[in-house]
Amino acid sequence: AEIEHDIHEALDNDWFEAHFQPIVDTSSGEVAGFEALMRMRHPDKGLLSPAGIIEVAEETAIIGRIGDRILEAAIANLARLTSHTGMSDTYVAVNFSPMQFESPLPLRLVRLLDRYGILPHRLVVEITEAVLMHDNPEIRTILNEIHTLGCRIALDDFGTGYSSLSYMSRFPVDIVKIDQSFVRSIEDGSGIGQKNRMLVEGIAAISHKMNCLVVAEGVETAAQYGVLREIGIDCAQGYHFARPRQVDDILAELQQRK
């Protein structure tokens, strides 16, 4: 109940923020895009991570309102980054909960993108198995509409679910995000690390055959990044490159480097 109270206060007082974590193109080393990660800036409790918040918000259906805020914050911040840096082709990837896939969503996306002057391919809609699991025809229709608009669909936490492979053929997937559990220890030549490496090679091969881009998540070391580049992963994301941060901080850093 305390979290519920915090959520309502946060909506009323604009405490939700979209922090940006870069996703790096492994062939150029350039930033290809950013994942927007929700944070709540509570005046007494500080910056809160989404873990507990999302769970409660999904139970009470208030996730729709939070999701709208994060979506707008993500697109607005991408527009801001674009105007300050000229990064005109970088994308923002936004996490969606199952309940957000309602029939007005595609039109809402069109309007938001239009309002901020962002082309549709620069929005990536990240979904997890929870969105696809029940094979709800309405959700499938909405995903197809979003894809037809030109937005891209990413399968998040790939490889950890029950029937991830079948989602690739049944839904319009453009990007596969390999879960961070496979990346951990991937630089070890033996044991779990070696097995994870083989799994990542296999997932990458299947994804590329299905014309999907492959992003590895949770890359924390140069050694892990090296292995992923050897394997031919397209993009990488993780603390090795940067933690999720406010766009103001990202802009300040870019300014300093000039």
By CB under 6 A, is residue 156 in contact with ligand G? yes
Query: Does 244 interact with ligand G (rule: CB under 6 A)?
Result: yes
From residue 176 to residue 215, the character string flagging contacts with ligand G as x (rule: CB under 6 A) and all else as - is ----x-----------------------------------
CB-based contact 224:187 (threshold 8 Å): yes
Helices 105-116 and 63-85: angle between axes, nearest 10 degrees:
30
Is 159 a residue that touches ligand G (CB under 6 A)? no
Nearer to ligand G, 36 or 255 (CB): 36
The yes or no reply on residue 179 touching Mn ion (CB under 5 A) is no
Cα 213–chain centre separation: 14
Verify binding: residue 238, ligand G, rule CB under 6 A.
yes
**Considering only residues 82-121, where is the footprint of ligand G by CB under 6 A?**
95-97
When asked if residue 156 is in the footprint of Na ion (CB under 5 A), the reply is yes
Residue from the set 78, 105, 124, 126 that interacts with Mn ion by CB under 5 A: 126
Contacting range for ligand G; rule: CB under 6 A; set: 45-53, 143-151, 160-168, 194-202: 45-53
CB of 15 or CB of 19, closer to Na ion: 19
Residue showing tokens 């922090």:
19
Binding status of residue 157 toward Na ion by CB under 5 A: yes
User: What mask of x and - would describe binding to Mn ion in positions 68 to 97, judged by CB under 5 A?
Assistant: ---------------------------x--
Q: Which of 13, 27, 49, 103 binds ligand G (CB under 6 A)?
A: 49
Please say which residue, 17 or 157, places its beta carbon nearer to Na ion.
Answer: 157
Region from 131-139, 165-173, 194-202, 236-244 binding ligand G, contact rule CB under 6 A: 236-244
DSSP-assigned letters across all residues of the chain: -HHHHHHHHHHHHT-EEEEEEEEEETTT-SEEEEEEEEEEEETTTEEE-HHHHHHHHHHTTTHHHHHHHHHHHHHHHHHHHHHHH---S-EEEEE--GGG--TTHHHHHHHHHHHHT--GGGEEEEE-HHHHTT--HHHHHHHHHHHHHT-EEEEEEETSSSSHHHHHHHS---EEEE-HHHHTTTT-SSHHHHHHHHHHHHHHHHHHHTT-EEEE----SHHHHHHHHHHT-SEEESTTT---B-HHHHHHHHHHH-
| Euclidean distance between CA atoms 163 and 167, whole angstroms | 7
Chain residue at closest Cβ approach to ligand G? 238
Q: Which does 103 bind (CB under 5 to 8 A by kind): Mn ion, Na ion, ligand G, none?
A: none
218 contacts ligand G (rule: CB under 6 A): yes
Which of Mn ion, ligand G, Na ion, none binds 54 (CB below 5-8 Å, type-dependent)?
A: ligand G
Instruction: Give 10 or 215: the residue with its C-beta nearer to Mn ion.
Output: 215
Cα separation of 219 and 235, whole Å?
A: 10
Query: Given the rule CB under 5 A, which residues bind Na ion?
Result: 156-157, 217
